[in-house]
Structure 1
Amino acid sequence: MQQDIVPFVVPSLSDKQRTQLQEKLADTIYPNELETNVGWEYGAPTWAVKPMAETWQHNYDFEVARQEINQWKHYRTKIDDLNIHFIHEPSTNPDAIPIVLCHGWPSTFYEFHKVIQPLRDGANGTQAFHVVVPSLPGFGFSDAPTSSGFGVVKMSAMMNELMVKLGYTKYVWSGGDWGAIIGKYTAANHSDNCKAFHTNLPFFLPPVPTPRNLLFHPLNVVKFFSSLLLGFNWVYGQGKTVLNWATFANAELYHGCGYRAIQGTRPYTLAYGLSDSPLGMMAWMLEKYHEWTFHADDKEGEKVALPPTITPDEFLTQVTLYWMTNSMSSSIRIYYECLHHYEMIKVTLPRVNVPTAVSSFAYDIAKLPKEWLETSSNLQHYNEHAVGGHFPGLEADELLVQDIQHFGRKLRKMNKSSKL
């Protein structure tokens, strides 16, 4: 272990933080709402937020979560003058593969709390991994950037440097949300080290008529242009293509990206409410944990805050980690950096030549047909699931572990003579 990699213990809430949290939750001003029940159409309703706030105030104990969290080996190390927090759980299996599990927003390293051990230990007698779970700069226990420019490109370089610093000069990347976006860029631009890429949220181009696609995937090209005339559902199947109008911040095209519009343009102004009010921050997060997750019954989903696959304690641990580190304001700035530096173009355009795997969960915020993935990546594994959503590590952990292990076994067979 390098000298500047130092052990870290996730702390308790300070006495001041506990008192402040209790006082703020006990003295909340709830907003006025329409007399008619409009469900979640206007955002997180009071009938969903208030019970969660009461649970946070009276029935949630961060010390329980902290005990679980600190079972893993935590460290911090300086990269680009920022202390970067990460979990590092090496496997004892000699055939283990290094993997980085990268979270997005509004999430933390805790999203993977159910998959770290089975991946490390090769659960069910299958592929094991050396597991690294970082906190992105500005998230959780990683330092917040103090200058502009910390977007996808910068964070990709920093995460790649972290893995190399740990001695993993060849590794697999797995992630969703920003973990998928940064991972796609890493797989395309740091392929000397990132030797394989797994994601549940693919950002790939459709089968446009490039010379390569016309040579190797002519039928996929024809099928794509047919879908433009006949519709995606008719050509690829119902629900196989979910683009949400493929817009980053244009709420006129897709109402669900309103949060991206404000976080990508005026993060400072929004941050006052999210930083000062634990209730406001929790409600801002709760909407996403409701909207982006899988509810087996759509009607029932309108009546509950969380799906049964995510417990209130799991959600509130995510919320508490943001609140205790005051990292909501710094975490949302990645949207500004990405939007203003046109980074989604840099992410989407390149083909991924390293082996790629995609786990498609039923209610993720975007889904692409297999044919698109085949033309824009070196697709080696693809699996569709009838359950799960945007946070598979919480919602469908066993399925996520199985997909990563299956991909790992395939990588091991493909690279018998190398560390992968």
Structure 2
Amino acid sequence: MANLSEGESEVFVVPGISESKERELRDRIESTIWPNELEKEYGWTLGAPTWAVKPLAEEWANNYSWEDARTELNRWHHYRMKIDGHLVHYIHERSTHPDAIPIVLLHGWPSTFYEFHKLIDPLRDGVHGNQAFHVITPSLPGFGFSEAPKVKGYGVAKIGAMINALMVHLGYDKYMYHGGDWGAIIGKLIATRHNNNCKAYHTNLPMVLPPLPTPRNILFYPFKIAKFFTSLVVGFDTIYGTGKTVLGGLTFANAERNNECGYRAIQGTKPYSLSYGLSDSPVGLLGWMLEKYHDWTFHPVERQDTEGLPRTISSKEFLTQVSLYWITNTMSSSVRIYYECLQQNEMIGIVLPRIKIPVAVCAFAQDIYKMPKDWLETSTDLHQYNEMISGGHFPGLEEPEILLQDLQQFGKKIKQKKIL
């Protein structure tokens, strides 16, 4: 560990990899033992099929350049700061615009800070004459270039405190926040527990309660309560509109209720056992990630079963995400956030509180959770809500222009109201 005091930072340069390491990666890919599969095609219902994994593995071995990716990444200013005894990696791009406001962009799993590579410059520069930002893009502890925790306990609460401390140490006592996936979950906690600093919360993955008959809701939203209880009888789609409510079976790890949460069950209970394969096999790692980059992204119906990545995410972008996990050997440490959250039963404490700071929700068509506007209005101080006809769980990669405009729109509102 660098000899830094708490809150001190050092310049960081994204490292290259040696020829021997590149050769080892190629050899491992080329010597892959491919899994036994059924003779009949069943789309993606059993996970990532070989026909989708093989071309990406071959490209990774023969036509992908980490050095090219590294050159792009090193265009930005990278640092690592000591927070709670850990080195936390982040990009920090200050805007030259006098009215710029600070924003932290936080990724989730299986993603990295690179998810926002198309947003950093335009947010910083205030493109199209819109709101500009000082952009801070961290790597979650145990992801990428951030040091992994060495002891138990680093769940959402601790990580949220670390991200807030990062912003305060950088001199941003007040800031705006955007996150998806774990970035959204951590953001909900920051928005409720660290709202002396976090003054506006933007997300594509809200985590809130429905309009329950609390004293506040009975006083202000009696009709929304009635709508919710009616929806329990006749169905969410009937009351709120088709596809407006996507809840994933309301379970974190019960695959009997939701086939899509099997990965959460193993990562939340036995992450060590899974990690041998993901740490040792580059193709195992690639396949585990590809399933999510297929299932959680937007595909036109006619291509849903026949393409791996959506056309909005290039193979090189996906392989850069995979490479960041492989080069840093952090897949094993990244999945432990599932274990910590499940074992500490943190989701209850995250979902329950009402968000009292201004909130914006940008709902993309194929995201893994979606909640009706009614629910957001009763559980947050909702200032902005936009629904999209495309995009999915990784909007920074899939639909960066749409997400950029939404962030700038919200940032401008916050600026005009003098909240930041």
Shorter chain as normaliser: what TM range?
over 0.9
CA deviation after TM superposition for structure 1 residue 16, in Å: 3.3
CA deviation after TM superposition for structure 1 residue 216, in Å: 1.1
CA deviation after TM superposition for structure 1 residue 352, in Å: 0.3
1:213 equivalent in alignment to 2:256: no
User: Which residue number in structure 2 is paired with residue 414 of structure 1?
Assistant: 417
1:75 equivalent in alignment to 2:85: no
Q: Return the alpha-carbon distance in structure 2 between the equivalents of residues 13 and 398 of structure 1.
A: 32
The 5 A counterparts of 1:161-200 are 161-200=165-204
User: Which residue number in structure 2 is paired with residue 131 of structure 1?
Assistant: 135
User: Which residue number in structure 1 is paired with residue 20 of structure 2?
Assistant: 16
Tell me the TM-score normalised to structure 1 length.
0.98
CA deviation after TM superposition for structure 1 residue 205, in Å: 0.2
User: Which residue number in structure 2 is paired with residue 392 of structure 1?
Assistant: 395
| Equivalent pair of 1:359/1:403 in contact (CA under 8 Å) | yes
Which residue identity lines up with residue 266 of structure 1 in the other structure? K
Q: Return the alpha-carbon distance in structure 2 between the equivalents of residues 58 and 282 of structure 1.
A: 15
Q: Return the alpha-carbon distance in structure 2 between the equivalents of residues 14 and 365 of structure 1.
A: 38
Q: Return the alpha-carbon distance in structure 1 between the equivalents of residues 192 and 111 of structure 2.
A: 24
Q: Return the alpha-carbon distance in structure 1 between the equivalents of residues 274 and 118 of structure 2.
A: 32
Which residue identity lines up with residue 343 of structure 1 in the other structure? E
The 5 A counterparts of 1:16-415 are 16-296=20-300, 298-415=301-418
CA deviation after TM superposition for structure 1 residue 13, in Å: 1.6
Q: Return the alpha-carbon distance in structure 1 between the equivalents of residues 19 and 316 of structure 2.
A: 21
Which residue identity lines up with residue 328 of structure 1 in the other structure? M
1:301-324: CA deviation from partner (whole Å, max 9, x where unpaired):
211110000000000000000000
1:242-294: CA deviation from partner (whole Å, max 9, x where unpaired):
01111100000000000000000000000000000000000000000000000
Which residue identity lines up with residue 243 of structure 1 in the other structure? L
Q: Return the alpha-carbon distance in structure 2 between the equivalents of residues 368 and 16 of structure 1.
A: 49
**What secondary structure sits across from 1:10 in the alignment?**
coil
CA deviation after TM superposition for structure 1 residue 21, in Å: 0.4
Q: Return the alpha-carbon distance in structure 2 between the equivalents of residues 14 and 332 of structure 1.
A: 27
Tell me the TM-score normalised to structure 2 length.
0.98
Q: Return the alpha-carbon distance in structure 1 between the equivalents of residues 174 and 26 of structure 2.
A: 46
Q: More deviation in 57-66 or 311-320?
A: 57-66
**What secondary structure sits across from 2:358 in the alignment?**
strand
| Equivalent pair of 1:204/1:348 in contact (CA under 8 Å) | yes
CA deviation after TM superposition for structure 1 residue 14, in Å: 2.5
Q: Return the alpha-carbon distance in structure 2 between the equivalents of residues 159 and 173 of structure 1.
A: 10
Which residue identity lines up with residue 29 of structure 1 in the other structure? I
1:15-74: CA deviation from partner (whole Å, max 9, x where unpaired):
332121011011111011000011111100001011110111111111111111110000
Q: Return the alpha-carbon distance in structure 1 between the equivalents of residues 18 and 244 of structure 2.
A: 47
**What secondary structure sits across from 2:370 in the alignment?**
coil
**What secondary structure sits across from 1:227 in the alignment?**
helix
| Equivalent pair of 1:17/1:324 in contact (CA under 8 Å) | no
Q: Return the alpha-carbon distance in structure 1 between the equivalents of residues 17 and 299 of structure 2.
A: 33
Q: Return the alpha-carbon distance in structure 2 between the equivalents of residues 207 and 246 of structure 1.
A: 16
1:60-97: CA deviation from partner (whole Å, max 9, x where unpaired):
11111111111000000111111100000011111111
Q: Return the alpha-carbon distance in structure 2 between the equivalents of residues 294 and 170 of structure 1.
A: 34
For these two proteins, the number of residue pairs brought into alignment is 415
Which residue identity lines up with residue 128 of structure 2 in the other structure? N
1:370-399: CA deviation from partner (whole Å, max 9, x where unpaired):
000000000000000000000000000000
| Equivalent pair of 1:170/1:194 in contact (CA under 8 Å) | yes
**What secondary structure sits across from 1:117 in the alignment?**
helix
Which residue identity lines up with residue 251 of structure 1 in the other structure? A
1:330-384: CA deviation from partner (whole Å, max 9, x where unpaired):
0000000000001101110000000000000000001000000000000000000
Q: More deviation in 12-21 or 200-209?
A: 12-21
Q: Return the alpha-carbon distance in structure 1 between the equivalents of residues 248 and 86 of structure 2.
A: 35
Q: Which runs of 5+ in 2 are unaligned?
A: none
- Percent identity at matched positions? 62
| Equivalent pair of 1:25/1:278 in contact (CA under 8 Å) | yes
CA deviation after TM superposition for structure 1 residue 4, in Å: 2.5
CA deviation after TM superposition for structure 1 residue 166, in Å: 0.2
Q: Return the alpha-carbon distance in structure 2 between the equivalents of residues 149 and 393 of structure 1.
A: 30
1:152-178: CA deviation from partner (whole Å, max 9, x where unpaired):
000000000000000000001101000
